[in-house]
Amino acid sequence: MNYFPDEVIEHVFDFVTSHKDRNAISLVCKSWYKIERYSRQKVFIGNCYAINPERLLRRFPCLKSLTLKGKPHFADFNLVPHEWGGFVLPWIEALARSRVGLEELRLKRMVVTDESLELLSRSFVNFKSLVLVSCEGFTTDGLASIAANCRHLRDLDLQENEIDDHRGQWLSCFPDTCTTLVTLNFACLEGETNLVALERLVARSPNLKSLKLNRAVPLDALARLMVCAPQIVDLGVGSYENDPDSESYMKLKAAVKKCTSLRSLSGFLEAAPHCLSAFHPICHNLTSLNLSYAAEIHGSHLIKLIQHCKKLQRLWILDSIGDKGLEVVASTCKELQELRVFPSDLLGGGNTAVTEEGLVAISAGCPKLHSILYFCQQMTNAALVTVAKNCPNFIRFRLCILEPNKPDHVTSQPLDEGFGAIVKACKSLRRLSLSGLLTDQVFLYIGMYANQLEMLSIAFAGDTDKGMLYVLNGCKKMKKLEIRDSPFGDTALLADVSKYETMRSLWMSSCEVTLSGCKKLAQKAPWLNVEIINENDNNRMEENGHEGRQKVDKLYLYRTVVGTRMDAPPFVWIL
Amino acid sequence: MSYRLLSVDKEEPGLKERNYLGLSDCSSVDSSTIPNVEKSNLNFKATELRLGLPESQSPERETDFGLLSPRTLDEKLLFPLLPCKDNASATTGHKNVVSGNKRGFADTWDEFSGVKGSVRPGGINMMLSPKVKDVPKSIQDERSHAKGGGLNNAPAAKAQVVGWPPIRSYRKNTMASSTSKNTDEVDGKPGLGALFVKVSMDGAPYLRKVDLRTYTSYQQLSSALEKMFSCFTLGQYGLHGAQGRERMSEIKLKDLLHGSEFVLTYEDKDGDWMLVGDVPWEIFTETCQKLKIMKGSDSIGLAPGAVEKSKNKERV
């Protein structure tokens, strides 16, 4: 390879797109490092505090697409205080100053302000794609700047963000000349939508493939939109409720029939279940169905819909489907690869309708299943062993038994053996979430067998530090370890400090680690940011030895090449 | 879904069930100006209870999750969120509750512990979930005294854990406002919080839902509805082709309704349509099944002089 001119090597590198592979390439030799860095267009940064924008730009000056993740995963469950960090503004400011030709920005769990969006919209002439997932801090005014100023906007994809809806006219801010939209997802907006502006926008966007509407778009508007965009591939229905007068409904049925490219359906935030039959004609083409927000769709209407979806690869559903419903899925959806079953009764009234039986049925009926997220009320070791036998190809296995510490409901044993069977059988397992009653034994199994495991979520599990040690010693590919309410302490934390250099981050909350343990760690590993999120009186986190034995409420540590961050709020103590 | 301390033993004198926030964890739809994360944070943090006894070496590995230290309970009950009783069970805007709580809680803290400078502006989250383990004994004693010590032996209730089950707050909020479970029940079970009723408006293309428990007066309900439905009335006034950032909320429904075009009515348990405002608020919340914003002309049959009455009301 060294005898080829750089251009040839670069051309070869163009075919290598995954960031893992490109990272590997850059480590081969100096000249490959150099060629790779100038040709890299897409960069993924899993932790926005691991590096800073200046260094990023120095290494990758030809950057076009940037993905940034901010808050730790447990922030999704309100374990991280609001003001913790993850601000995107400094990044956008730095990118703007450097005049890099940014075209795509993908953010997850970051704080985005209207100011950032405005700056973004004005600084990059070729900006095409904005994807925001679980972000917060902005309003529809920010969206208005994006709409108004990004002349070549292709994707505006807002997934599950907390957006302050000022009910302004952001949709009308797209200029009449804007015809390039491919993705428009505003399902998470809670306010009213200017339907006229929306229809005109969709009508002048011939490339529109993905349209996800919010609650404020009613059924008759939906029908009109679908008529304007028969080429749609991915549709998020907004409000599907009305006193359905037959004309609207007939129009919708006719419009749906014409959408022969439709492959993915979601939404139904308010739904009249009997109107679902309008979609039956295209169900046989669907590969993705997300009804996890459709609380009103269950029972026979849901089953009828699913029975038409023989090509389904991805299904997100509420547990109101029941074990019986999952059996229908198992017998109908033979192509199923990913299943998520969410709890519908968040009051914890014990009315969850899925049990281990549904899980077993799915594992038996769907041989291609590789990703699962399953909320249920009860589980048994026997069921998990069966699932492991049926589906040895799991990449992601997340089981959430709603009641913490719940044992096998038949034998009253811990679920160590069940999860052990899963990790032993699923050699490609990359992500695992545990629940139920678990002892150190399960961690021994994980350490022994889960060789490819990159992310592990632990809650209310384990007996002693040994548990955590098994994992740290055994899982060579571990990247993200998050633990809550488990009895792991300083011994485990400090056993192998160099391990954390190979990981992206470690989260421990309500465990047994003490302040002095964390301080020791910070001393031994200056290349780590060791953050204590202290929600108690700061004064009590004192220097003196006695206080050092005090348990730390929340610990978040991560490797970084740029040292302590400057934007931490007062209750975050960086050691 | 609200995060209250459930089933507190009613026989213990001095024990009261506390709604820590006076809010139900719901309706991101209704108060659209409030970031939902903030509300959820409040809910979770407010009722966070730790597993295990305070100052124990390891948290208790109880299979019965319900067992919690009485001390923990004590801790929680001593820090009600609402600073003053006259706020009853709810306030108008969630935002107000947040800032009100910040001040109120800080005052409470100072009063109890005399610890200066312990209040961080960083947010309510930190203050509302003190871990029992970490609270110095002196403060705990003070608190026990303050509450007459009657709570120390309260049996621990089965409480919600912060961040469990692991579901994104976005999903929780969306589900809470979508679920129609409570709309048809005669009595929402006490303590469950949400009491959603459907609201329709003549000429509007779709229904909305409001949680009646988030309001304590007709005034609050009507301002909320005003905000929610103002856009429909505006639509008639030709907002087509409006460019820029004209805000719909600047033109208030109020101004249009002073012309008595619309009145607010509700369907009661007997299926009769009544004018809103004729009965005390508490009775209204118990009997209201559905709300409807009717055109004034349609409402004449409801009660004599109904249309006249609504003309005189500040808000429908």
**Structure confidence by residue, pLDDT tens digits, A438-451:** 999 999 999 999 99
Are A103 and A128 in contact by the 8 Å Cβ rule? The answer is yes
What is the chain A residue with the closest CA to B110?
A537
Q: Which of A166, A294, A538 sits opposite B120 (nearest CB)?
A: A538
Confidence of residue B230 (pLDDT cuts 50, 70, 90): low
Joined together, the tokens standing for residue B202 give 């003549």
∠A490-A492-A498 over CA atoms, to 5°? 105
Q: Which of A144, A295, A570 sits opposite B120 (nearest CB)?
A: A570
Q: How far is CA A291 from CA A254, B170, B185, in A?
A: 22, 15, 25
Q: In this predicted structure, what is the pLDDT of residue B198?
A: 73
Residue type, A390: N
Q: Does B297 touch chain A (CB under 8 A)?
A: no
Q: How far is CA A297 from CA A77, A226, A333, B173, in A?
A: 26, 22, 19, 18
Are B210 and B221 in contact by the 8 Å Cβ rule? The answer is yes
Instruction: Write the burial class of residue A198 (CB in 10 Å: 0-12 exposed, 13-18 middle, 19+ buried).
Output: buried
Q: How far apart are CA A406 and CA A437, in angstroms?
A: 5
Closest Cα partner for A170 from A156, A182, A152?
Answer: A156
Q: In this predicted structure, what is the pLDDT of residue B51?
A: 47
Contacts of residue A235, Cβ cutoff 8 Å, sequence gap at least 6: A210, A211, A212, A226, A259, A262, A264, A265, A266, A267
Are B55 and B133 in contact by the 8 Å Cβ rule? The answer is yes
Tell me the Cα Rg of chain B: 23
Are B107 and B98 in contact by the 8 Å Cβ rule? The answer is no
Are A532 and A508 in contact by the 8 Å Cβ rule? The answer is no
Q: How far apart are CA A430 and CA A449, in angstroms?
A: 12
Are A96 and A125 in contact by the 8 Å Cβ rule? The answer is no
- E strand or H helix that includes residue A268: strand A264-271
Contacts of A512 in chain B (CB under 8 A): 57-58
Q: In this predicted structure, what is the pLDDT of residue A270?
A: 79
Contacts of A269 in chain B (CB under 8 A): 174, 178
More confident residue, A399 or B182: A399
Confidence of residue B284 (pLDDT cuts 50, 70, 90): confident
Are A399 and A374 in contact by the 8 Å Cβ rule? The answer is yes
Contacts of B124 in chain A (CB under 8 A): none
Q: In this predicted structure, what is the pLDDT of residue A295?
A: 83
Q: Which of A242, A463, A512 sits opposite B206 (nearest CB)?
A: A242
Q: How far is CA A278 from CA A209, A238, A258, A293, A353, in A?
A: 20, 15, 12, 19, 27
With a cut of 60, say whether residue B179 has pLDDT above it.
no
Q: Does B292 touch chain A (CB under 8 A)?
A: no
Contacts of residue A86, Cβ cutoff 8 Å, sequence gap at least 6: A48, A70, A71, A109, A110, A111
Q: How far apart are CA A186 and CA B226, in angstroms?
A: 24
Q: Which of A162, A241, A343 sits opposite B207 (nearest CB)?
A: A241
What is the value of pTM for the model shown?
Answer: 0.70
DSSP type of residue A368 = T
What is the chain B residue with the closest CA to A347?
B1
Q: In this predicted structure, what is the pLDDT of residue A245?
A: 64
Chain A: give the shortest CA distance to residue B61, in Å.
8
ipTM computed for the complex: 0.87
Chain A: give the shortest CA distance to residue B25, in Å.
11
More confident residue, A381 or B124: A381
Q: In this predicted structure, what is the pLDDT of residue A191?
A: 82
Q: Does B162 touch chain A (CB under 8 A)?
A: yes
What is the chain B residue with the closest CA to A216?
B206
Residue type, A286: L
Contacts of B242 in chain A (CB under 8 A): 169, 172, 194
Q: How far is CA B72 from CA B54, B131, B161, in A?
A: 8, 8, 13
What is the chain A residue with the closest CA to B29?
A190
The pLDDT tens digits for A341-392 are 999 876 555 555 799 999 999 999 999 999 999 999 999 999 999 999 999 9
Mean pLDDT of chain B: 52
The pLDDT tens digits for A178-223 are 999 999 999 999 888 899 999 999 999 999 999 999 988 888 899 9
Contacts of residue A156, Cβ cutoff 8 Å, sequence gap at least 6: A130, A143, A146, A147, A181, A183, A184, A185, A186
With a cut of 60, say whether residue B260 has pLDDT above it.
no
CB contact under 8 A, A167 and B247: yes
Contacts of A81 in chain B (CB under 8 A): 41, 122-123, 125-126
Chain A: give the shortest CA distance to residue B313, in Å.
27
Residues 123-142 (B) with a CB less than 8 A from some CB of A: 123, 125-127, 129-131, 133-136
Q: Which of A74, A402, A569 sits opposite B165 (nearest CB)?
A: A402
Q: Which of A78, A344, A407 sits opposite B162 (nearest CB)?
A: A78
Contacts of A242 in chain B (CB under 8 A): 205-206
Contacts of B161 in chain A (CB under 8 A): 404, 485
With a cut of 50, say whether residue B241 has pLDDT above it.
no
B24, B102, B120: which to substitute to probe chain A, counting the most A Cβ within 10 Å?
B120
Chain A: give the shortest CA distance to residue B235, in Å.
9
Q: Does B203 touch chain A (CB under 8 A)?
A: no
Residue indicated by tokens 């009100």: B100
CB contact under 8 A, B130 and A571: no
pLDDT < 50 regions, chain A: 538-540, 543
Q: Does B202 touch chain A (CB under 8 A)?
A: no
The winner for highest mean pLDDT among A309-313, B76-80, B212-216 is A309-313
What is the chain B residue with the closest CA to A553?
B131
With a cut of 90, say whether residue B33 has pLDDT above it.
no
Q: How far apart are CA B60 and CA A112, in angstroms?
A: 40
Confidence of residue B226 (pLDDT cuts 50, 70, 90): confident
HSE-CB for A8 with a 13 A CA cutoff: 5
Joined together, the tokens standing for residue A112 give 């985005």
Q: Are strands A42-45 and A264-271 parallel, antiparallel or unpaired?
A: unpaired
Q: Does B56 touch chain A (CB under 8 A)?
A: no
Chain B: give the shortest CA distance to residue A244, in Å.
10
Contacts of A344 in chain B (CB under 8 A): 175, 179
The pLDDT tens digits for A440-489 are 999 999 999 999 999 999 999 999 999 999 999 999 999 999 999 999 99
Q: In this predicted structure, what is the pLDDT of residue A98?
A: 94
Q: Which residues of A235-251 are buried (b: 16+ CB within 10 A; e: fewer)?
A: bbbbbbbbebeeebbeb
| Percentage helix, strand, coil for chain A under 3-state DSSP, each rounded to 5 | 40, 20, 40
Joined together, the tokens standing for residue B48 give 């966070």
Q: How far apart are CA B122 and CA B166, in angstroms?
A: 24
Q: Could you tell me where the beta strands, DSSP code E, fall in A272-424?
A: 288-290, 314-318, 338-342, 371-376, 396-401
Question: What length does chain B have?
Answer: 316
What is the chain B residue with the closest CA to A133?
B170
Residue indicated by tokens 């007066």: B217
CB contact under 8 A, B167 and A346: yes
Chain A: give the shortest CA distance to residue B287, in Å.
23
